[in-house]
Amino acid sequence: MTGEDELIGSLPPDFRWGVGSSAYQIEGAVSEDGRTPSIWDTWAQSPWSVDNGDTGEIACDHYHRMPADIALLKELGVDTYRFSVSWPRVQPRGRGGVNPAGIAFYDRLVDELLNNGIDPWLTLYHWDLPQHLEDAGGWPARDTAVRFADYAMLVFERLGDRVRHWTTLSEPWCTAMHGYVHGVMAPGRRDAKAGMAAAHHLLLGHGLAVRRMRELAKPGTKFGITLNLSTADPETPSEADREAARFEDGLGTRFYLDALVHGRYPEDVLETLARQGIRLPSEPWDPAIIAAPLDFLGVDYYFGTRYSGVEENGNAVEHFGLPAFRKVPFGVPSTVLGWEILPHKLTELLVRIGRDYPGLPLYVTENGAAFADVPDETGFVRDDDRAAYLSAHIAATAAARQAGADVRGYFAWSFLDSFEWAYGYAKRLGLVRVDRETQARTIKQSGLAYRDVVHRVRGSRR
Ligand code: GBH
């Protein structure tokens, strides 16, 4: 046995194994059954937004192929499926009553999963805000937080009897920063003040939604949030590099977790923002709402980062009113997205989160890799690179457990080759290949390898 196998073998038989997807990335059917455009429909149609001019109009056509896709999940041997609900499908105007045809899809999806012995993990928001709400101000507007809680209740009232794990938001940092500050994702705005207001209102919407759902929840229903987290090392021990790493960690990790767990934003981040003339639009009672008790934390991890204290502002890169520091590569191999492969940083991250925010069960809710898949004539992809990436990161998760982090599950990202946001379809992360012409699905080598890992861990203790 290799060290990796041994680590993986140390995971308990009740460890949760899943794969994940998100609505806009796989569903397609963007104007069917009363769905209205989300900010991603709008953004994908604007010039220079998405590579190759790709959109989610058809995506994986999952909306029409759902039962067959659930059969594939079953073949992969996972016990859990993490998916997201499309807000503009369920509540087309972003306010008002439910769209019966829209919610019916998720109703069928949940039943199909349960009938196949797969536990549904539902995420309410994975980036597809109804365009109607963006037109009314989007996440920088306080009302969007209230709208989100109303939408959460619409979904909860219909699916709360069967879905046990509810995640409010997926990666609010991405919405706030990529969407409103960097302008590289929908809605494509470039305004740090708006971005930080968005971050606050995302967290507020989360807190409002959790409070209201919990009042109606059956015992045993769990509520959580998913954050994209990373390690942030200084390039050297110099004061300037340590400051840079501390700032990036503050904005990316402590901003969210201090608010969610302790009900306060980190002082050092607030001070830096104040120096840029940015004040969060936080009412005195907001922090207590945001800190609504959490049952679990989803950790999305792809790569570690390190920083030098050299500011990039005023040089090649514009950061629209926030300090930004130079990312220094580690010089290790990376995926085709340029994301460096650093499994031991996942161990470090999980141990650190477990130490700094104790008492919060952790799940790795996203982890995966884009590689240059080359299918044979049957559509099969021998992606040993992806299989190795997954196995190394599962072992890293097991190592974190051994070091004391309360990690209870792992979800590979992603189920299918999907619409990869600004990268379009050219970048593939699926365990299952999707032929862009025919929509044919073929489980890749990595999918088979993942199935074997799940099987081995479950079976070894039986
Ligand atoms: C995930 O986000 C998404 O949650 C998922 O939907 C998506 O399929 C997956 O990425 C792959 O695209 O350093 O300039 O390259 C991961 C979070 C998104 C945060 C990209 C950092 C990096 C920009 N990351 N972002 S860059």
Interval 163-183: pLDDT, tens: 999 999 999 999 999 999 999
Quote the pLDDT of residue 321.
Answer: 77
Alpha carbons 204 and 349: distance in angstroms, whole number: 25
pLDDT of residue 319: 64
- Mean residue pLDDT across the chain: 96
CA distance 56 to 63: 12
Binding positions: 25, 126, 302, 413, 420-421
pLDDT value of position 322: 84
Ligand 1 pocket, residue 248 CB under 6 Å: no
Residue 168 CB–ligand 1 contact under 6 Å: no
- Residue 25's Cβ-count burial label (10 Å; 0-12, 13-18, 19+) is buried
Per-residue model confidence (pLDDT) at position 462: 41
Answer yes or no: is pLDDT of 323 > 90.
Answer: no
Nearest to 16, CA basis, from 394, 350, 448: 394
Q: Which two tokens stand for residue 302?
A: 């792809």
C-alpha 350/C-alpha 352 separation (Å) is: 5
Query: What is the predicted pLDDT for the residue at 325?
Result: 85
Q: What is the mean pLDDT of residues 284-292?
A: 98
| Average confidence (pLDDT) over 155-160 | 98
Judge whether residue 144 has pLDDT over 50.
Answer: yes
pLDDT grade for 320, boundaries at 50, 70 and 90: confident
Catalytic annotation, residues: 171, 366
Model confidence pLDDT, tens digit, residues 21-65: 999 999 999 999 999 999 999 999 999 999 999 999 999 999 999
Containing 347, the helix (H) or strand (E) segment is helix 343-356
Work out whether strand 432-434 and strand 441-443 pair parallel, antiparallel, or are unpaired: antiparallel
110 pLDDT more than 60 = yes
Q: Whose CA is nearest to atom 9 of ligand 1?
A: 420
Supply the residue whose CA is at minimum distance from atom 25 of ligand 1: 174
Give the mean pLDDT of 376-395.
Answer: 98
| Phi and psi at residue 88, to the nearest 5° | -70, -10
Ligand 1 centre distance from Cα of residue 450 (Å): 22
Q: Is 174 in the pocket of ligand 1 (CB under 6 A)?
A: yes
pLDDT in tens, 180-221: 999 999 999 999 999 999 999 999 999 999 999 999 999 999
For 232, the 3-state DSSP assignment is strand
How high is the pLDDT of residue 315?
45
pLDDT band at 2 (very low <50, low <70, confident <90, very high): confident
pLDDT of 461 above 50? no
Yes or no: say if 340 and 319 are a contact pair by the CB < 8 Å rule. Answer: no
- How many domains does the structure of the chain reveal? 1
CB 234 within 8 A of CB 244: yes
How much is the pLDDT for 316?
Answer: 39
Indicate the pairing of strand 119-125 with strand 80-84: parallel
What range defines the domain where residue 225 resides?
A: 3-460
Decide if 297 contacts 227 (C-beta within 8 A). yes
Q: What is the ipTM of this complex?
A: 0.95
Res 334: pLDDT:
98
Q: 303 CA to middle of ligand 1, Å?
A: 10
Output the CA 100–ligand 1 centroid distance in Å: 32
Percent pLDDT > 70 in the chain is 97
CA distance 313 to 187: 23
Distance of CA 295 from the midpoint of ligand 1 (Å): 25
403-448: per-residue pLDDT in tens?
999 999 999 999 999 999 999 999 999 999 999 999 999 999 999 9
Q: Is 417 in the pocket of ligand 1 (CB under 6 A)?
A: no
pLDDT band of 310, cuts 50, 70, 90: confident
- Helix, strand, or coil here: 228? strand
Q: Tell me: the pLDDT tens digits for 231-254?
A: 999 999 999 999 999 999 999 999
CATH number of residue 260's parent domain: 3.20.20.80
Residue range 63-82, pLDDT digits in tens? 999 999 999 999 999 999 99
Contact in structure between 179 and 170 (CB atoms under 8 Å): no
